[in-house]
Amino acid sequence: MTNERFLPILALLLATPLAQAQNHGSIQGNLIDESGTPVEFAAVTAERGGDRYGTTTDEQGRFTLKPLPPGIYTVRFAFTGMQTRELTDVLVNPDKITLLRNERMSAMNMLGPIAVEARRWEPPLIDPEEPSKLTIVASQFEDNPQRKNPAALIATTSPDIYKAPGSDELYFRGSRSDAMVYFVDGVKVSGRLSGVPPAGIASITMYTGGLPAKYGDVTGGVVAIETKSYFDLYMQERSRQH
C-alpha cells in the first residue's frame, strides 16, 4: 500500500475517537473534609448502567471525569478512613460541565457499622455561566402538580416565561408565542409540544435570552427537552417495583 493510500485511512482511525467524544459532557468538582481541607488522592467514580468511569482527586481535592456520554450517573467518593459518599441522579448534558462543588466527606465511625452516605443530587436552577438558561431535571418536578402539562410546568420556572390562559402557548419576555420553539433530543418541533409523555422527560432547559447559535434564527425563547434513555426508564420502573 502506498503512502498516499495509507494516509486517508490513518486520518480516519485517528478521527474516530474524536468523533466518539463529541457531544459528551464531564463532571468536575472538588472534595473537602469536615474542616474544609481538600481531600487528596480520593477515588472518584461515575457509574451508569454497566459503564464506570474513574479518577482521583489532586492535591487541591479537585477532580474531572470526562468524556462522559450524556445521561444520569451515580457518583461515588471513597478514601481510606472516611465515610464513602454517594450522589445519585447526577445529570450530564451534551457538551456541558456538571459541577460538584465542595463535596464534603466525614471521618468514618470505626465503632459503628460501615455504611454509604447517599443523597440525591439537585442541580442549580440557573447556570452561573449562562444566567439566561434555566434547567430542571426529572427529580425536581416529579412531585410538581403541573408535571402532566409541560407548558404549565415551564411557565412556573421563571417570571420571564408566561403561559396564556386556556392554551399551551408560551411567551418569552413579551415576545410572540410563535417566536419560541421546542427542541426534543435536538430535533426541532413545530407548533405546540405533543407526543412527549411527561414521565419520559429527563430534563427541560429554557433559554430566555442569549440563544446559542445552534438554534438558528429563533427570535424568542427556546425550550430544549431531553428524554430519558431506555436504561433510565428501566431503572425508573425497577425503583418503583422495590
Could you tell me the domains of the chain?
Answer: 3-120 (2.60.40.1120), 126-235 (2.170.130.10)
Instruction: Give the global pTM.
Output: 0.57
The number of residues making up the chain comes to 242
**Cβ neighbours of 209 (radius 10 Å):** 14
- DSSP 8-state assignment for residue 228: P
What's the pLDDT score for residue 134? 83
> What is the identity of the amino acid at 189?
V
What's the pLDDT score for residue 12? 37
**8 A C-beta contact, residue 30 and residue 62:** yes
pLDDT tens-place values along the chain, 242 residues long: 445 544 444 443 444 444 444 578 899 999 999 999 999 999 999 999 889 999 999 999 999 999 998 888 999 999 999 999 999 989 887 778 899 999 999 988 766 666 678 888 877 766 666 777 888 888 788 888 888 888 999 998 888 899 988 888 898 887 887 888 899 988 888 777 877 888 888 888 888 887 877 777 787 889 999 888 776 666 666 666 65
What's the pLDDT score for residue 146? 86
CA-closest candidate to residue 66, choices 102, 29, 38: 29
What's the pLDDT score for residue 9? 40
Q: Which residue, chain included where needed, has cell 454509604?
A: 116
What is the secondary structure of 67-104 as a DSSP string?
A: EE-SEEEEEEEE-TTB--EEEEEEEE-TT-EEEEEEEE
